Amino acid sequence: MAKILNILFSNQCDHAAVIYLHKKIAQHLSVHDGYEVSHLVFLGDETGLSVSDNQKSVKYMNADKRSAKGKSWIKGVLFRHNINKIIANGKFDCIICDGFGVLSQLNKNISIPVIVIIHGKASPKNKKRMIRLIGSLNVTLVAVSSVVHKHLSLLSITEEEKIKTISNSVDFKELQNSFYKKNEARLRLGLSNDDFVIGTVGRQVKCKRHDTIIQSLGWLKEHDRLPEKIKLVIIGDGECYEKNRILANEVGVNNNVVFLGAIENAGRYLQAFDLYVMASSTEGMSISLFESIAAKIPVIVSDCDAFEIVVSDKNVFFKVGDYANLGGKIHEYANCLEKRKSSQEIIYAYAKEHFDVGDFLNSYSDTISSSLLDK
């Protein structure tokens, strides 16, 4: 029986999408392929999000961010030593790891295959060092979308044949069984059943462009088109949290915007929303978008290239950063139930057909199997 080590940077709420994917992959490799899968988590402990149904298979490093990111020299060296000691003592046959940050902590003399899942348009902190590290290891970079694959190719950090694409997916049936019903979700979030609720879930960082959504409400108010009972609910923490709160006040919509911060298993609350909006300037392949589609919530999204892969109704797109265009679409869809329903059905049918979770998981099985044969 082959032994697989799944390494995650964090098991905190802001890494929920990555955790979901790695957990699904690990479950499939264990149940379907019969591999023995262990888990290593850099940041966090057993109080964070579950990375496995078998807690005995999980080891937590309880590291601080500076050590895990290599910013603390002495602690960083010790941290890296401990990680590679665990890898050596575990006698694993293959490693799956979460992005360049995790990969950068591995020793260059590791001989087993390393599968690195790249979740977005990230770039390594030290490109030259990463090129040397990848060159010395048996690495396969897995892009979560064709958009990410193109980005990795342009980085020129490895040969093209070492990059492959496995498009993200979700288990629609499993998710649909996990959602709170609309009234319960609203009760748990402290929302009124009388409100028209626009929702968005994601870290409040610059590329997510929450500012565009907030400004769109300001634009609606300026043009006397903002309904009194409309609420924008933002779930997620991040470096732009306070900046976005200030912006909501500046454009006069602070009473219409609800900042809930990070919530564990935020996807369970999606049916509280009447409309789901994503304004990102860049994405890898958003799990949050898939979750909203699985929840059968109408969506409006920016023309970010990753969204164009998933969303089949081109009428719901607005130009990145164009808050007036977004405001117009919110007004249009908020006032027409039939339009929301029709769009939702088109998008749901396409996503369910083209992003099958079985194909997604089998692709990872094939990748692991091929890597082990080449070992």
**Residues with Cβ within 8 Å of residue 314, at least 6 apart in sequence:** none
What's the Cα-to-Cα distance from 134 to each of 21, 104, 370, rounded to whole Å?
A: 23, 9, 18
Query: Are the C-beta atoms of residues 35 and 4 closer than 8 Å to each other?
Result: yes
User: In the beta sheet, which residues pair with residue 8?
Assistant: 41
List the CATH code of the domain at 172-354: 3.40.50.2000
Cα separation, 119 vs 98, in Å, equals: 8
Cα separation, 331 vs 329, in Å, equals: 5
What is the DSSP track for 83-120?
HHHHHHHHT-SEEEEEHHHHHTTS-TT--S-EEEEE-S
Mean pLDDT along residues 207-223: 98
Query: Are the C-beta atoms of residues 333 and 340 closer than 8 Å to each other?
Result: yes
User: Tens digit of pLDDT for each residue in 32-60?
Assistant: 999 999 999 998 888 888 999 888 899 99
Topology adopted by domain 3-169+356-373: Rossmann fold (3.40.50)
pTM for this one? 0.91
Phi and psi angles of residue 77, each rounded to the nearest 5 degrees, phi first = -65, -45
Mean pLDDT along residues 322-335: 97
Cα separation, 19 vs 206, in Å, equals: 22
Q: What is the location of CATH 3.40.50.2000 in the chain?
A: 3-169+356-373, 172-354
Phi and psi angles of residue 9, each rounded to the nearest 5 degrees, phi first = -70, -40
Percent of the chain at pLDDT > 70 equals 98
Q: How many CB atoms lie within 10 A of CB 320?
A: 20
